[in-house]
């Protein structure tokens, strides 16, 4: 064997073959399709049709296109879905601001990622007109069923105050969301606070024996996407892709409203007319608007006012509860929060 000192000299044919082999291997590594990598799995607990952008994004393959394997887990209410997320049963959850505010008064381990829709007439007060209830004055002494510390709870208190009544003027019957309708149907209460499409179904069932007390704009509900603080902060890239999929669902719902409503109808087991009614009550838009602070603080002020023990909770700084980076990176104009 002969050792060669100094510069190593290789033959030209060998050098050419080696360069070609390296180039092929490099191109296979760099330009390998993304599909060869395992998708990031994200579970989301979600409630009512206020969260319709989620099933739309799944149905149209927007999550898959972003490398997200989405696991949507339905719950009967936003209150239940938010609680499930806080209990570690899912990565993200949707719900109106009421349960989010309720938990913000006692814990700080979650973040709001985006607002998915907003409505000012989704929840309604339904009463038994056959029992002589035709207006706010007739509510005195009546039993009203509703889930506690929810948008429905806030709506009832706001309605009473707006119409010169006191909280003590009605008898609240706090029930699980699933039991509210049943209590009305069994005749155990004089009224309930609930949402569409259940309200419409109830009115069809009772005919002229029941009616809705008009309350539009008394309660503006933002339907939020939230997650545990640890999950959100440790998965910024995943959150950006989830939000991009939801933004594509928002655009799709605007361009193809009939097809979007059909997806929602299949998802929620409702007929097209029910979903069409719900659609008119919502603005489906992925955003983080400055007005969200007003909604959160108003509801927090209301719940703090209900507290009987002292000292009462302190108003949170809701800027500490909002994750801005994901939506700012995906659609900057959708973020108007001053920070």
- Domains, the chain: 36-119+221-334 (3.40.190.10), 123-213 (3.40.190.10)
Residue 237 and residue 325 in contact, taking contact as beta carbons nearer than 8 Å: no
Token couple for 93: 């959850």
Rounded to two decimals, the pTM is: 0.86
Q: What are the helix (H) ranges across the chain?
A: 12-30, 53-59, 62-65, 78-86, 97-104, 151-162, 177-185, 198-206, 229-234, 236-255, 257-268, 272-280, 291-306, 325-330
Per-residue pLDDT of the chain (339 residues; tens, 9 = 90+): 333 334 333 444 434 444 444 443 444 433 333 443 467 999 999 999 999 999 999 999 999 999 999 999 999 999 999 999 999 999 999 999 999 999 999 999 999 999 999 999 999 999 999 999 999 999 999 999 999 999 999 999 999 999 999 999 999 999 998 899 999 999 999 999 999 889 999 999 999 999 999 999 999 999 999 999 999 999 999 999 999 999 999 999 999 999 999 999 999 988 899 999 999 999 999 999 999 999 999 999 999 999 998 899 999 999 999 999 999 999 999 999 998
């Amino acid at each position: 064997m002969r050792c060669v000192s100094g510069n190593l000299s290789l033959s030209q044919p060998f050098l050419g073959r080696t360069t070609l082999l390296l180039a092929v291997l490099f191109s296979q590594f760099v330009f390998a399709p993304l599909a060869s990598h395992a998708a990031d799995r994200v579970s989301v607990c979600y409630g009512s049709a206020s969260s319709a952008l989620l099933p739309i994004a799944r149905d149209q393959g927007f999550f898959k296109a972003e490398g997200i394997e989405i696991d949507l887990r339905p719950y009967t209410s936003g209150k239940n879905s938010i609680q499930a997320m806080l209990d570690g049963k899912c990565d993200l959850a949707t719900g109106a601001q009421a349960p989010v505010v309720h938990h913000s008064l006692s814990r700080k381990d979650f973040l709001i990622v985006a607002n998915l829709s907003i409505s000012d007439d989704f929840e309604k007060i339904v009463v038994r007109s056959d029992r002589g209830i035709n207006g706010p004055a007739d509510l005195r002494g009546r039993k009203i069923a509703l889930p506690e510390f929810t948008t429905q709870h806030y709506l009832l208190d706001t309605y009473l105050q707006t119409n010169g009544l006191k909280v003590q003027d009605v008898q609240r019957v706090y029930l699980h969301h699933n039991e509210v309708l049943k209590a009305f149907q069994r005749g155990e209460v004089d009224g309930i606070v609930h949402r569409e499409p259940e309200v419409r179904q109830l009115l069809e069932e009772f005919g002229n024996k029941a009616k809705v007390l008009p309350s539009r704009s008394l309660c503006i509900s933002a339907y939020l996407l939230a997650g545990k603080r640890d999950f959100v902060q440790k998965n910024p890239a995943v959150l950006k892709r989830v939000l991009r999929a939801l933004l594509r669902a928002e655009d799709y719902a605007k361009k193809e409203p009939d097809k979007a409503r059909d997806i929602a109808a299949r998802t929620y087991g409702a007929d097209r007319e029910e979903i069409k009614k719900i659609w008119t009550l919502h603005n489906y838009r992925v955003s983080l608007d400055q007005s969200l602070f007003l909604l959160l603080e108003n509801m927090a002020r209301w719940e703090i006012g209900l507290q009987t023990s002292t000292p009462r909770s302190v108003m949170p700084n809701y800027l500490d509860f909002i994750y801005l980076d994901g939506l700012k990176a995906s659609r900057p104009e959708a973020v108007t929060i001053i920070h």
